[in-house]
Amino acid sequence: MTSPDELSKRREQEAKKIALSLAKQRGEKQASIKGGDGTVAWVTESLCIGCDQCTIVCDDEAIELYFKDVASPLMQVPSNRKAKIIRDACTGCRLCVLACPTDAIEMIDR
Ligand code: SF4
Ligand code: SF4
């Protein structure tokens, strides 16, 4: 029977493997996204869930959240937030694209 110690070691090893795999995938994804001075981030409003992840990773204060009314009057939520890119401040670093859980951000040519 597997002892709690062995189980804990195995879990640790598996966690390391998963972390490595995710880092690799992230690196591959980052390499596949265009970025740099000639690009700027763009948010597709309908995909944004206002989760705030992009504003946390953006070091250049190039993203702000704003409130938008919900389209359907049947739905009542206290706030419906969306992200907006401040074009002049965006350096094209792509971090927000990697952080967004809904793939709402893409890099476009300036
Ligand atoms: S690309 Fe970089 S600088 Fe531009 S909004 Fe995203 S995280 Fe901020
Ligand atoms: S990370 Fe994506 S979903 Fe979350 S607020 Fe930013 S753009 Fe919207």
List per-residue pLDDT tens for the chain, 110 residues long: 788 888 888 988 888 887 777 777 777 777 788 888 999 999 999 999 999 999 999 999 999 999 988 777 777 666 789 999 999 999 999 999 999 999 999 999 99
Do 67 and 96 lie in one domain? The reply is: yes
In short, whether 83's Cβ falls inside 6 Å of ligand 2 is yes
Q: What's 86's domain CATH number?
A: 3.30.70.20
CA proximity to 94, closest of 20, 18, 27: 27
Q: What is the pTM of this model?
A: 0.74
Do 104 and 57 lie in one domain? The reply is: yes
In short, whether 40's Cβ falls inside 6 Å of ligand 2 is no
CA proximity to 94, closest of 46, 59, 51: 59
In short, whether 104's Cβ falls inside 6 Å of ligand 1 is no
Question: What's the farthest any 2 CA atoms get from each other in the chain?
Answer: 61
Q: What is the domain range of residue 26?
A: 1-32
> 1 CA distance to ligand 1 centroid (A)?
51
Our count of domains for the chain comes to 2
CA angle 47, 48, 51 (to 5 degrees): 145
Do 40 and 81 lie in one domain? The reply is: yes
Do 27 and 40 lie in one domain? The reply is: no
Pocket test for ligand 2, best of 45, 53, 57 (most atoms within 8 A of CB): 53
Do 66 and 87 lie in one domain? The reply is: yes
Do 27 and 57 lie in one domain? The reply is: no
